[in-house]
């Protein structure tokens, strides 16, 4: 697939970088949950790529469920408001839950989600996220499995969108400000 790269100022994380990092994260997750039940909870829509590629590295007894929450709308700034657009199908009582996220920016989505899922009687609730921005690194959001700490630029690709575009890219790139500035 050939991409028009003029919308991006830089490729931040290549397809190969992502694959290698997911290998490491999956190794750690398989070790930690060996012999235990595990439910991966993907946060739609951004986490679809991470979830698909991480889940492929898990044993077949590991299950997937999905939640859709939104805090961003169509802009590039967080509104701080979290809404449930689609709830889980699974009952979390007594289960080991691993939330799978593409990116933690302000940490608003994740801290809300952690509170929400922990209140459902799970045996444990942890987080795996591919990317984390500086703000979230200082906020108290406990992330057990992290891929990359990245700078504060607006990034797209590998599930991350700008106004619903760019999610299909196999890499993570910095969106050139000319795309969203008038
Ligand atoms: C993005 C991203 C995370 C969240 C992180 O989702 O996928 O879920 O924002 O931001 P925060 O740490 O500041 O809360 P978004 O709300 O844009 O929905 P989407 O996944 O459907 O794109
Ligand atoms: Mn999201
Ligand atoms: Mg988004």
Domains and CATH numbers, the chain: 15-150 (3.40.50.2020)
For residue 166 and ligand 1, the question of a CB distance below 6 A is answered with no
Q: What is the mean pLDDT of the chain?
A: 93
**pTM across the whole model:** 0.94
pLDDT digit string (tens) for 53-78? 999 999 999 999 999 997 755 555 55
Among candidates 121, 98, 95, which has minimal Cα distance to 29?
98
Pocket test for ligand 1, best of 41, 105, 127, 155 (most atoms within 8 A of CB): 105
Task: Quote the strand ranges of the chain, DSSP E.
Answer: 8-13, 39-44, 63-70, 83-86, 96-104, 124-132, 145-149, 155-156, 172-175
141-168 in b/e form (b: 16+ CB < 10 A) is bebbbbbeebeeebbbbbbbbbeeebbe
Ligand 1 contacts CB of residue 42 (under 6 A): no
**Residue 182: pLDDT above 90?**
no
Q: Is 102 noted as a catalytic residue in this protein?
A: no
**Is the model's pLDDT at 48 over the cut of 90?**
yes
114 lines ligand 1 (CB under 6 A): no
* Beta carbons of 88 and 41 less than 8 angstroms apart: yes
Ligand 1 atom having least distance to the Cα of 164: 22
73 vs 50: which has the higher pLDDT: 50
- Quote the ligand 1 centre to 46 CA distance (angstroms): 7
Q: Cα of 182 to ligand 2 centre, how many Å?
A: 25
Please tell me the predicted confidence (pLDDT) of residue 138.
72
pLDDT of 72 reads 57
Is the ipTM beyond the 0.90 threshold?
Answer: yes
- Residues 97-131: pLDDT tens digits? 999 999 999 998 999 999 999 999 999 999 999 99
């Amino acid at each position: 697939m050939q991409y028009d790269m003029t919308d991006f100022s830089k490729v931040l994380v290549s397809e190969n970088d992502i694959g290698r990092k997911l290998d490491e994260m999956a190794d750690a997750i398989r070790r930690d949950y060996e012999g235990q039940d595990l439910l991966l909870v993907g946060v739609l829509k951004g986490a679809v790529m991470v979830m698909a590629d991480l889940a492929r590295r898990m044993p077949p007894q590991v299950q997937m469920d999905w939640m859709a929450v939104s805090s961003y709308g169509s802009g590039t700034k967080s509104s701080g408001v979290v809404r449930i657009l689609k709830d889980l199908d699974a009952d979390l009582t007594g289960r080991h839950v691993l939330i799978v996220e593409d990116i933690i920016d302000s940490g608003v989505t994740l801290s809300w989600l952690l509170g929400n899922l922990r209140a459902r009687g799970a045996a444990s609730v942890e987080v795996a996220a591919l990317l984390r921005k500086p703000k979230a690194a200082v906020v108290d959001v406990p992330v057990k499995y992290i891929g990359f700490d990245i700078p504060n630029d607006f990034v797209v690709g590998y599930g991350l969108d700008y106004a619903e575009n760019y999610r299909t890219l196999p890499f993570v790139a910095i969106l050139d400000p000319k795309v969203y500035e008038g």
